[in-house]
Amino acid sequence: MEPLVLGELKSYTEVKLKLEKFKAIRKGSPIAASMIICSIAACSLLMGFLFGSTTLAFYLSSLLGSLLAGFGCVAAIFFLVGVILLMSQKGLKTPIVNFIIKKTCN
């Protein structure tokens, strides 16, 4: 009688482990897919941003007549954006944290 109970207990634990594994996969797959999509989108946006800022720098250079002035203006714009982001860090932090929590909990 004991070997039968032990065999069923072993079978039950194996099935339970497989079930938990599939639950973890079901929860993790959307998160992984979202991370991959966000990574690809971030790379695309970064490339567009880099090419756009280089184009803006050359355009400003042609208007101002100096490469140094054009690229300096673009650098100043980036500096101002960075300062603004640092100053408003607390206001931006909460929505980003809430977005991450929503993505991981759903």
Range of the domain at 41: 2-105
Q: Which residues of 67-76 are buried (b: 16+ CB within 10 A; e: fewer)?
A: eeebbebbee
Assign 65 to helix, strand or coil.
coil
Domain total in the chain: 1
Model confidence at 102: pLDDT above 90? no
Residue-wise pLDDT tens digits, 66-92: 999 999 999 999 999 999 988 988 888
Residue-wise pLDDT tens digits, 13-66: 999 999 998 888 888 888 888 889 989 999 999 999 999 999 999 999 999 999
For all residues of the chain together, what is the average pLDDT?
Answer: 89
pTM: 0.63
Cβ distance 60 to 73 under 8 Å? yes
Q: Output the pLDDT for position 1.
A: 53
